[in-house]
Structure 1
Amino acid sequence: MPGRTRPIDKFATAVGKCSKEGSAYGKCIVADYHNVHKDKCMTEFLRLKDCFLVSV
């Protein structure tokens, strides 16, 4: 079906546009990956989420 975009294509586009936010979130998680818990790096996650929502 021409004109339809698959969800994975939308996700891939959003990931490409949010590399700075994704990198910041990843660095935050990796900084202390033995102590990952709920809400760790929440600020970075919310920035990444907001970027994804704007990009999609």
Structure 2
Amino acid sequence: MPGRTRPIDKFATAVANCSKETSAYGKCILADYNNVTKDKCVTEFLKLKNCYLASAKKR
């Protein structure tokens, strides 16, 4: 099936445009990875999520 894109490829392309947000979220989690709790890095996650959604929408 030519022209068909797998979902993981779409995800990888969208996330590639969000390296700044991905880095910030990763640093937040890594700062205290032995004590990760729900909503620990919620602001960084939401920025990453919004970037991903905006990037995916452009495709």
> When the two structures are superposed, what TM-score results if normalisation uses the length of structure 2?
0.87
Quick one: which amino acid aligns to residue 25 of structure 2?
Y
Please name the residue that 1:9 is paired with.
9
> When the two structures are superposed, what TM-score results if normalisation uses the length of structure 1?
0.92
Structure 1: runs of 5 or more not aligned? none
Number of aligned positions between the proteins: 56
The equivalences for 1:1-56 within 5 A come to: 1-56=1-56
Moved beyond 4 Å, runs of 4+: none
- Cα distance in structure 1, aligned partners of 2:14 and 2:27: 19
- Cα distance in structure 2, aligned partners of 1:33 and 1:45: 15
Sequence identity (%):
79
Q: CA RMSD in A?
A: 0.8
